Chains A and B, each alone.
Chain A
Amino acid sequence: MSEAETDQWEVRVKNGPINLFDWVRNVFMEILGCDAESALAMAKQIHTEGETVVWTGARAECEERAYSLQDHGLHAVIVRVVT
């Protein structure tokens, strides 16, 4: 691990042209446990910026979230946090 890397990871969801807005919002509420307003804000950010960070934490918990998001058809990736 280089000095700039940490043991923290983040799950990012990338924009997909086919997924429905309301579906993404609903999945965020289900998987991440966030409220409707936060879920909608994240969905909008993905739509406008191409991706957003939806979870930060240890690698195992990031994998758990990424798996659940992929299970619902979302394009979730895991990236190491670099400071």
Chain B
Amino acid sequence: MKKYTYTEKQDTRSGFGDGMTELGRTNPKVVTLCADLVGSLKTATFIKENPERFFQTGIAEANMMGIAAGLTIGGYIPYPTTFANFGSGRVYDQIRQSIAYSNKNVKIAVSHAGLTLGEDGATHQILEDIAMMRSMPNMTVINPCDYNQTKAATIALADHVGPAYLRFGRPKVPIFTDPNQKFEIGKAWTVNEGKDVSIFATGHLVWEAIQAGEILAEKGIDAEIINIHTIKPLDTAAILKSVRKTKCVVTCEEHQANGGLGDAVAQTLAQNFLAPQEYVAVNDSFGESGTPEQLMAKYGLSAEAIVEKTLKVIARKS
């Protein structure tokens, strides 16, 4: 098992904010909008340095998505920002018709996705957004795993043409990816090569998968861990290459099992190479209040849960 360590924890949303700061200095066409959550989205530096390229929309997310679509006429690259709940489910029809169907170059950037939003509870803890966004034609869906990767993804999206949904979170989590990484949309990152099981993880679950990999190594299990930061377009070549070798799969995500990364992987396997699969995901349930750690443990989104599912899936290999 390749060793990963960290010296610092940081929130992925700060990766977004610092990515925007860099874009503010390098790309004059990048603009951002926010529905009254500037502090949470960490865009203060971008706004301070480029006040003419920031548009406050007030608490009116539907309108914000339409305005972002309309702003593209000047060649602008709008990043509308809010919480993931309000930037997906609340405005699904605006995104579908005015952004995706109209194929607008809009980068929807949303924070506080999933259970790790914590104390505010179920209303704000969206666990269905990946399913909604990956089912939408033209939409690119990205869920990076740490501060560095989120920053790199934010910057990479400015050079990508077309609608995109960039999902990140609130809590401070380990920084373990390369600060100078080049983010390739749609290209999975092999965290660890192994031969006994393919663990595909996205977002905050990638660090948990690494912890699981270390526990599994002690048990003599050689896990291949792959970070699927881009859920759409899915890197099916990397997925199939890995599963053809390991013959079994565990998918890990801070999202409902229904419609998320796990289902995207299962769809690929069903059509190409059958293999047993286990899901580390939320099982058809809303969230509740608690610290991120308490909630991730309760809903089975932890290194321990990944270990358990891995042992189960290996036993299912014929």
Q: Do A and B bind each other?
A: no
Chain B residues near A (Cβ < 8 Å): none
